[in-house]
Amino acid sequence: MKTIDDLDVAGKRVLVRADLNVPLDGTRITDDGRIRASVPTIAKLAQAGARVIVCSHLGRPKGEPDPKYSLAPVATRLGELLGRPVAFASDTVGDSAQEITAALGDGEVALLENLRFNAGETSKDDAERGAFADRLAALAQVYVSDGFGAVHRKHASVYDVPARLPHAAGGLIATEVEVLKKLTEDVSRPYVVVLGGAKVSDKLGVIDNLLDKADRLIIGGGMAYTFLKAKGLEVGRSLLQEEQIPTVTEYLRRAEDKGVELLLPVDFLVATEFPSDPAPGTATYQVVDADAIPADHEGLDIGPKSRELFASRLADAATVFWNGPMGVFEYADYAGGTEAIARALAESSAFSVIGGGDSASAVRNLGFDDKAFGHISTGGGASLEYLEGKTLPGLAALED
């Protein structure tokens, strides 16, 4: 896989596929981590004299323009972080994009509007996707893939464009792959994997693969209740995927057979309803042991004993991968479990990798510095699929 150091970019139009899919509150960016992660590659290309054309998706528009998914606020923030103006095209491959990219000078940067405003970006029809890739590739002379959060998608800007232009991986892609190899190839042990989030079905593949690689699995979040149900416990109205109980039962058996320690929460914060206000001190809940969840309650966070247990089993780790919060962290009263995991990793000497998505947003929103961890991935889904052992289309497209 070539990197940007292998390219001659001076005076050339370089299309950079970044991942600028940041959370927005109206037009306010609530976590600019992905933008900051994209800056080094964009800046390096600009400094080398490239005419940099950045493209990205944001959210899930329906293949047509939708103002609430516009990348305009991102262009402003990107310019602030780069310390240079970023021209913004009001379309993706139309008149505005063509005019702005043609007018770029050496070292200048432009951002195209949301790729997913064009149905061809995500189309499953090869011809439709290819036609959009043709128009996108026509804007540039060189392609750089640097949006790790999208490389597991067979999308036009990720998979088809590199077949049409000289191409290379950006610095972010190179770093992400290097980090993930540390989790799959030459792993320092003990190797602990912490998985949370809402649905166990989202993590089945990674659990299946990591049962052969990890020394210890810690399960929290909404997915824990399916494991508890598989062990015969009452989970009340907690999130449950009954259809996954046979699979989870098999994972419990395999973990025991392989000597992999699989830890589940031993207590929870439970309530009859969500609080109406995310501010601290507004929720009404009780703390119960895992075998005493009332039938009319649902678990919303792991309890204090679980937090202490999980932290203790992270203390001796040499390598940790964490993906998924321990509770409904968006509500301050139910963020304690997620904060406990983050604090344990921040205080640990382990090489810790936070697998993007909600986990990355949570640690930043809870006030932790990125430097407290070994690596915060920009791609939750891509990280998980890599750890499952899947071939990622966007990485395969960069191999020569």
Known binding-site residues equal 19-21, 34, 57-60, 116, 153, 203, 299, 330, 356-359
Instruction: Determine the Cα–Cα distance for residues 253 and 178; give it in Å rounded to an integer.
Output: 32
Side chain identity, residue 293: I
Based on the fold, state whether residues 152 and 242 are members of the same structural domain.
no
Asked whether the beta carbons of 275 and 257 are under 8 A apart, the reply is: no
Q: Domain for residue 396, yes or no?
A: no
Based on the structure, what is the number of domains in the chain?
2
Active site residues: 34, 199, 357, 381
230 with 367, same domain: the answer is: yes
Claim to verify: residue 61 and residue 158 sit in the same structural domain: yes
Strand order in the sheet with 375-376: 261-263, 216-219, 191-195, 319-323, 351-354, 375-376
Encoded amino acid at 219, one letter: I
Confirm whether 208 is domain-assigned. yes
Position 320 in a domain: yes
263 plus 328 within the same structural domain: yes
Cβ pair 335, 359 in contact under 8 A: no
Tens-binned pLDDT, residue by residue, of the chain (400 aa): 999 999 999 999 999 999 999 999 999 998 898 999 999 999 999 999 999 999 999 999 999 999 999 999 999 999 999 999 999 999 999 999 999 999 999 999 999 999 999 999 999 999 999 999 999 999 999 999 999 999 999 999 999 999 999 999 999 999 999 999 999 888 999 999 999 998 889 899 999 999 999 999 999 999 999 999 999 999 999 999 999 999 999 999 999 999 999 999 999 999 999 888 889 989 999 999 999 999 999 999 999 999 999 999 999 999 999 999 999 998 999 999 999 999 999 999 999 999 877 888 888 888 998 899 999 988 888 998 998 889 999 999 999 7
373 lies in a domain? yes
Annotated binding site for (2R)-3-phosphoglycerate: 34, 116, 153
166 and 183 fall within a common domain: no
Name the E strands within the chain: 13-17, 24-25, 28-29, 51-55, 86-88, 109-111, 142-145, 167-169, 191-195, 216-219, 261-263, 267-271, 286-289, 298-302, 319-323, 351-354, 375-376
Q: Is residue 155 part of a domain?
A: yes
Which domain-ending residue is among 106, 139, 170?
A: 170
Is residue 195 domain-shared with residue 330, that is, in the same domain? Answer: yes
Give the predicted TM-score (pTM) of the model. 0.88
Same domain? For 319 and 203 the reply is yes
Task: Please say which residue of 110, 136, 170 terminates a domain.
Answer: 170
Residues 345, 375: one domain?
yes
Question: Which residue positions form the known binding site for ATP?
Answer: 203, 299, 330, 356-359
Residue 17 to residues 158, 356, 390, Cα–Cα distance (Å): 7, 18, 21
Q: Same domain, yes or no, for 198 and 148? A: no
DSSP 162: G
Q: Look at residue 395 and tell me if it is in a domain.
A: no
CA distance to 17, 50, 110, 119, 227, per residue, from 360 (Å): 21, 31, 27, 29, 24
Is there a single domain that holds both residue 157 and residue 194? no
Is the same domain home to 358 and 270? yes
Q: Indicate whether 330 and 197 sit together in one domain.
A: yes
Q: What number of CA atoms fall less than 13 Å from residue 123's CA on the CB side?
A: 18
> Of 105, 137, 170, at which residue does a domain stop?
170
Query: Do residues 386 and 378 touch, judged by C-beta distance below 8 A?
Result: no
Tell me which residue range forms the domain holding 111: 4-170
Task: Tell me if 209 is assigned to some domain.
Answer: yes
The reply to whether 393 falls in a domain is no
CA 365 to each of CA 19, 79, 306: distance values in angstroms, whole numbers, following the listed order: 20, 23, 22
* Domain CATH for 342: 3.40.50.1260
